[in-house]
Amino acid sequence: MTKYCLLDTDKYSTRVRPPEHEKLYCYTTQISNIMENGNKEEILPIPGKKNVLITSALPYVNNVPHLGNIIGSVLSADVFSRYCKARGHPTLFVCGTDEYGTATETKAIEEKITPQELCDKYNKLHKEIYDWFEIGFDHFGRTPTTEQTEIAQDIFTKLNANGFLEERPTMQPYCQHPEHENFLADRYVEGECPLCGYNDARGDQCDKCGNLLDPFELIKPRCKLHQTTTPVPRETRHIFLLLDKLQEQEEAWVKKAQTEGKWSQNSINITNEWLHKGLLPRGITRDLKWGTAVPLKGYENKVLYVWFDACIGYVSITATYTKHWEKWWRNPDDVTLYQFMGKDNVPFHSVVFPCSQLGTGDKWTMVNTLSTTEYLNYEGGKFSKSRGIGVFGSSAKETGIPADVWRYFLLLQRPETSDTEFKWDAFIRANNNELVANFGNFVNRILKYVNSANYDSVVPAAPELEADPDLSKALKQHVKDANEILRRYREEMDAVHLKAGIAIARELSSLGNKLLQDHTVDNNLFKNHRQKCDVVVNLAVNHVHLLASVIAPYIPATARSILEQLQAELLIIPDDWEARSIPADHKIGKAAHLFQTIKDSKQAEWTDLFGGDELKKVKQAEADKKAAKKAEKDRKKAEKEKKRKEGKEGVEGDLKTDDGITEVTNATKEVTLQTS
Ligand SMILES: [Zn+2]
Ligand SMILES: [Zn+2]
């Protein structure tokens, strides 16, 4: 069996070489990286190329991600990274866990372990989840490193030298419990809400009435960890980043970046709202132990605030990947930076971090494109870890459904412009009607046909069709149509419209199915119209090869399987597809099914498995609330109506009519009973 490689020139030179590959930059390491997780060789930008640096929001270490978190950042970034690599651009995709901060320190105290031990445990958990979903980071790091300390302190020191930092006194709650002896973040103070009396209000917000609070407003305040200890106000000093002094520079940069980088609408709106209100100084230090040390005298017991620190994590994580990190991060002329995240993270990436960069006066690679998502909901409700509602972490694999099916469906539902829903019936339909019936059918039908005795797995040559101008025209049209689809695919993908990209990939598969149908590829065609059969089969196999590249960013395991069946390497996504990448006489491997049908009965099973009962309770509670509101409204309305009619014609005549009136009678009775 010949296994040929597009990148191995020795083997490849004996075969037809599609001219598009001559023009393309082939980056050997990367091509294998598109299909594998992780990489073997260091990826660095190459001057003059389109070098792409991709980050996805650093997941907070002790939150277990749910499907919405996964599609919101890491999966979207992964698809774009694989696409850029499949286009032949030198691409680096970095991420890691965000580990510093109050939440980690508090959780570690709760679990009676050190923050380091806690982070080790959760970092591993995150990595396992992303590995299962085939998120192909080139490097997945973490924030507590010496690189982080060096880079963050360097930025801090330069901001200070340039006059963008200021020390200010602040009052903060302090827990005097002997095991704690520390300042408390607002949300770690609990107590009674001064507005609604709710007993478990947090110092930043009351969950019952939704009002924003100050921790000192709480009645009977207590430390979240030490419920019997009353926090006391204590003066402390903090360093503020003077964002107001950077507003002008920031505005000039934002204006340019938003236009050139085609930011998603929500990131434009959120950023502009911040700028419109006017930037305010923001505290960037905290009284904590678990964080990056502040390089200032008198700040030995304080650390850098996690949101000043976290975005610097992208830089330091790159620095733990390569000592040449500055080639990525101090190279705005050669590097394009794409950042992926949920919309709640926007201001830190569009305002706080860029202002920190600008304030240093150094040369920085700054974000070109912010790709931010709205929220993915679960079956009409919200994901809830505490209630066990929805699919969290690695529990997706409990269904026995391969990661590719999850990836495909999540990308179809990507909340690009508004919130979207995860629904099991839609999940099953997408698998059965699209993956099995469209993609799977096309690939399997043609490869099985080549496996058959007719061709014995050898791709036939495609002779010139001088004798059949109609067929020749039809096949040329097919290539033209495929190229038109490909052009739209590239356009949407370049603009990071990943939802549109997958819909277009499906069109390419439909076009393949149409080719087989239009020319009725069967035994009759082989026996009676051999030349036609050869030409169509050759084209269809090449079409499969192209399809594998186009779907590879979305469903990499499926693309791998197709390439294995084709016995071919990944085709770089071309500017102009000529249908010649799989040459005549090439022997393919054995056809195998790409997807399996999911039984409809699974819907009920999975609904139960992933918190169906809890979700029902939540929904019931919501419905009850709504119904009670409506009943009250109806009652008032009917009462009004009754009074109006009583005035005219008396009560008797109306009671026999509809339910609304009967309800009024009951309600009136209750009222009567209460008052009497
Ligand atoms: Zn309240
Ligand atoms: Zn305490």
Question: Is residue 672 very low, low, confident or very high in pLDDT (cuts 50, 70, 90)?
Answer: very low
Average of per-residue pLDDT values in the chain: 87
The rounded Å distance from CA 226 to ligand 2 centre is 5
pLDDT score, position 46: 96
What would the mean pLDDT of 14-40 be, rounded to a whole number?
41
The answer to whether residue 647 scores a pLDDT higher than 90 is: no
Percent of the chain at pLDDT exceeding 90 = 70
Cβ neighbours for 634, distance < 8 A, ≥ 6 positions apart:
660, 663
Q: What are phi and psi of 278, to 5 degrees?
A: 95, 125
The rounded Å distance from CA 180 to ligand 2 centre is 5
pLDDT score, position 18: 41
The answer to whether residue 670 scores a pLDDT higher than 60 is: no
The answer to whether residue 14 scores a pLDDT higher than 60 is: no
User: Same fold for the domain at 36-163+250-262+309-412 and the one at 423-605?
Assistant: no
Q: Tokens 């992933």 label which residue? A: 610
The rounded Å distance from CA 209 to ligand 1 centre is 4
pLDDT score, position 385: 79
The rounded Å distance from CA 166 to ligand 2 centre is 29
Q: Where are the domains of the chain?
A: 36-163+250-262+309-412, 423-605, 611-675
Q: What are phi and psi of 110, to 5 degrees?
A: -60, -45
pLDDT score, position 19: 40
Q: Tokens 């309305």 label which residue? A: 637
Nearest ligand to the CA of 195 is 1
Count how many residues are written for the chain: 676
The answer to whether residue 655 scores a pLDDT higher than 90 is: no
The rounded Å distance from CA 205 to ligand 1 centre is 8
Identify the CATH homologous superfamily for domain 36-163+250-262+309-412: HUPs (3.40.50.620)
Give the Cα separation of 134 and 138 in Å (integer): 12
pLDDT score, position 620: 79
The rounded Å distance from CA 212 to ligand 1 centre is 9
The answer to whether 388 and 611 have CB atoms below 8 angstroms apart is: yes
Nearest ligand to the CA of 227 is 2
The rounded Å distance from CA 203 to ligand 1 centre is 11
**Closest by Cα among 126, 112, 140 to 56:** 140
Greater pLDDT, 599 or 672? 599
The rounded Å distance from CA 223 to ligand 1 centre is 18
Nearest ligand to the CA of 230 is 2
pLDDT score, position 578: 95
DSSP string, 583-647: -TTPBP-----S--PPPTTHHHHHHHHTTHHHHHHHHHHHHHHHHHHHHHHHHHHHHHHHHHHHH
Nearest ligand to the CA of 106 is 2
Question: Is residue 29 very low, low, confident or very high in pLDDT (cuts 50, 70, 90)?
Answer: very low
pLDDT score, position 241: 97
Nearest ligand to the CA of 184 is 2
The rounded Å distance from CA 274 to ligand 1 centre is 27
**Residues lying with their CB under 5 A of ligand 1, a single-atom ion:** 193, 195-196, 198, 206, 208-209
pTM of the model: 0.84
The rounded Å distance from CA 592 to ligand 1 centre is 60
The rounded Å distance from CA 579 to ligand 1 centre is 66
pLDDT score, position 38: 46
What would the mean pLDDT of 620-636 be, rounded to a whole number?
81
The rounded Å distance from CA 273 to ligand 1 centre is 27
Question: Is residue 79 very low, low, confident or very high in pLDDT (cuts 50, 70, 90)?
Answer: very high
* Number of CB atoms found within 10 A of residue 177's CB: 15
**End-to-end Cα separation, the chain, in angstroms:** 95
What would the mean pLDDT of 10-15 be, rounded to a whole number?
32
Question: Is residue 306 very low, low, confident or very high in pLDDT (cuts 50, 70, 90)?
Answer: confident
- Selecting from 3.40.50.2300, 3.30.360.10, 1.10.3720.10, 1.10.730.10, what CATH number does the domain 423-605 have? 1.10.730.10
The rounded Å distance from CA 287 to ligand 2 centre is 14
Nearest ligand to the CA of 221 is 2
The answer to whether residue 4 scores a pLDDT higher than 60 is: no
Summarize pLDDT for 140-159 with one digit per residue, the tens: 999 999 999 999 999 999 99
The answer to whether residue 657 scores a pLDDT higher than 50 is: no
pLDDT score, position 627: 81
The answer to whether residue 248 scores a pLDDT higher than 60 is: yes
The rounded Å distance from CA 218 to ligand 2 centre is 16
pLDDT score, position 297: 94
The rounded Å distance from CA 183 to ligand 2 centre is 9
Question: Is residue 369 very low, low, confident or very high in pLDDT (cuts 50, 70, 90)?
Answer: very high
What would the mean pLDDT of 111-118 be, rounded to a whole number?
93
Nearest ligand to the CA of 208 is 1
Greater pLDDT, 170 or 650? 170
* Number of CB atoms found within 10 A of residue 301's CB: 13
The tally of CA atoms less than 13 A away on the side-chain side of residue 190 is 12
Summarize pLDDT for 327-361 with one digit per residue, the tens: 999 999 999 999 999 988 899 999 999 999 999 99
Nearest ligand to the CA of 201 is 1
The answer to whether residue 483 scores a pLDDT higher than 60 is: yes
The answer to whether 447 and 425 have CB atoms below 8 angstroms apart is: no
Question: Is residue 129 very low, low, confident or very high in pLDDT (cuts 50, 70, 90)?
Answer: very high
Greater pLDDT, 609 or 660? 609
Summarize pLDDT for 493-519 with one digit per residue, the tens: 999 999 999 999 999 999 999 999 999
